[in-house]
Chains A and B, each alone.
Chain A
Amino acid sequence: MREKELIAYLNSEIINVLQFKHFTPLTKEEATYIDEVEGAELRELLKSVQNTLLYLSEAKEFVLSLSNGNLEVEPPIFNPLISPLKQLHSNLRHLVWQIGQVAKGDYSQNLDFLGEFSLHFNRLVQSLKEREEIEQELKRSEGMYKLLAENISDVIWIYNLDRDCFTYVSPSVVFLTGFTDIEAMGQTFKESVSADSYEQIGEWSIEAIDTLSKFPNQKIVYTNQVQQLCKDGRYIWIEAVVEFRLTEVGEVEILGVSRNIEKRKEIENKLKKQTLELTKLNENKNRFLQILAHDLRNPFTVLLGFSELLLSNFREFNPEEIEEQLTILNQTAKGTYTLLNDLLLWSRSQSGNLPFDPQKRDVIALCKDVVADKSNKFSHKEISILCEKNGLEELILPVDTNMIKTILRNLLSNAIKFSHRGDEVLLTVERGEKFITVTIKDNGVGISPQNQKLLWDYSKPLITKGTEGEEGSGLGLLLCKEFVEAHGGKIWVESEPNRGAAFKFTLPLNREQIVDK
Chain B
Amino acid sequence: MKEESYSFDWSDIGDINLGRPNLGEETKVSVYRMMQYSMRGVLAKEFGSERASKLIYDSGYIAGLNFCKTQLDTKLELNQFLAQLQKRVKEYKIGIVRVEKIELESLEMTLTVEEDLDCSGLNVTNERVCDYDEGFIAGILEFYTNLKFSVKEVDCWSSGGRVCRFKINVEE
What is the interface of chain A, defined by CB distance below 8 A to chain B? 75, 77-80, 83-84, 86-87, 90-91, 93-94, 97-98, 101, 104, 106, 108-109, 112
Contacts and interface: CB of A to CB of B under 8 A. Distances in A.
A90 B112 contact: yes
B160 A90 contact: no
13 contacts: A77-B161, A80-B160, A83-B124, A83-B160, A87-B161, A87-B162, A87-B163, A90-B163, A91-B98, A93-B110, A94-B100, A101-B79, A106-B83
B133 to A, nearest CB: 15
Contacts of A75: 155, 161
Contacts of B96: 112
A90 B154 contact: no
The 4 closest A-B pairs by CB, nearest first: A94-B98, A93-B100, A87-B162, A90-B112
B101 A97 contact: yes
Contacts of B162: 83-84, 86-87
Nearest to B98: A94
B102 interface: yes
Interface in B95-134: 96, 98-102, 110, 112, 114, 124, 126
Nearest to B154: A77
B108 to A, nearest CB: 13
A306 B116 CA distance: 133
Q: By DSSP majority rule, is chain A's interface helix, strand, loop, or mixed? A: helix
B159 interface: yes
Contacts of A108: 80, 83
Contacts of B98: 90-91, 94
Nearest to A97: B99
A109 B97 CA distance: 13
Q: Considering residues A83, A91, A94, A101, which has the most beta carbons from chain B within 10 angstroms of its beta carbon?
A: A94
A90 B124 contact: no
Contacts of A87: 114, 161-163
B160 A79 contact: yes
Interface in B77-95: 79-80, 83
Given A77-B154, A78-B159, A78-B160, A97 B124 contact: no
B86 to A, nearest CB: 9
Interface in B118-172: 124, 126, 154-155, 159-163, 165
Given A75-B155, A77-B154, A97 B163 contact: no
B159 A77 contact: yes
A445 B80 CA distance: 109
Contact of B165 (A84, A90, A98, A106): A90
Contacts of A83: 124, 160-162
Contacts of B99: 94, 97-98
A91 B96 CA distance: 11
A101 B100 CA distance: 11
A86 B155 contact: yes
Contacts of A106: 79-80, 83
B115 to A, nearest CB: 10
B79 A86 contact: no
Nearest to B97: A94
A97 B100 contact: yes
A75 B124 CA distance: 16
Contacts of A79: 160
B79 A94 contact: no
A78 B126 contact: yes
Contacts of A104: 79
Contacts of A97: 99-102
A94 B155 CA distance: 16
Given A77-B159, A78-B160, A108-B83, A90 B126 contact: no
Nearest to A94: B98
Contacts of A80: 124, 160
B159 A90 contact: no
B155 A77 contact: yes
B79 A93 contact: no
Contacts of B163: 86-87, 90
